[in-house]
Amino acid sequence: MDQRWQDVDAYIQSSVLGEDSEGERVLGAQQSAELPDIAVSRPQGRLLSVLARSIGAERVVEFGTLGGYSTLCLARALPPHGRVVTFELDERHASVARASLDAAGVGHQVTIRVGPALERIETLAHDEPFDLAFIDADKPSNVHYYEAAMTRMRPGGLVIVDNVVRDGEVADPNSADERVQGSRAVIDRVGADPRVEATVIQTVGSKGYDGMLIATVLD
């Protein structure tokens, strides 16, 4: 990782993002609970907030809650009646996220569905259409999460898939890494899907070299 990437992130945080005590508490609780250090960075979390606000999102679905930091970023971008439905495999992770989100004052806007998301996807059939989907769970299942989200997305909504560039390995069709193949599968699926218009943004920063797929659902 290039030290300049981290330095720029630090500069962005101090000059653009400012202090965020609630966000720091959520990340601190995640660290104290020894959860994996794989949450989005603060600039990436702000990007999620900006995108949600830009489309006037009121309902969000998320695959991969972890400690609740990305969930917090999304929930704070919604109006008071807005809702986030988030899927988390690990019950302990969900418990840490629930406590943090409640303490941050957005818990009433968040429903955490605990258990294997692929086994719980059918619950989406009972939800109102979503304005934004954020996919940041097990990478081999990216296509399944994408297809599930697309069954409940409104026209003009956004589908965002995190960690699709993977240090540039996504360009290698022969990679033996199932996470890389999961990224390639969802990129190829989205690229062939006439329901959306999409791109992939490469990113560098405190989380290293990676990127996000961003797709707009067409009418």
* CATH code that applies to domain 3-217: 3.40.50.150
61-115 pLDDT, tens digit per residue, is: 999 999 999 999 999 999 999 999 999 999 999 999 999 999 999 999 999 999 9
Question: Would you say 117 and 145 are in contact if contact means Cβ atoms under 8 Å apart?
Answer: yes
Which pLDDT score, from 0 to 100, does residue 89 have? Answer: 96
Domain parsing of the chain, residue ranges? 3-217
pTM: 0.96
Which pLDDT score, from 0 to 100, does residue 168 have? Answer: 98
Rounded mean pLDDT, 128-153: 97
In the predicted structure, residue 1 carries a pLDDT above the cut 90: no
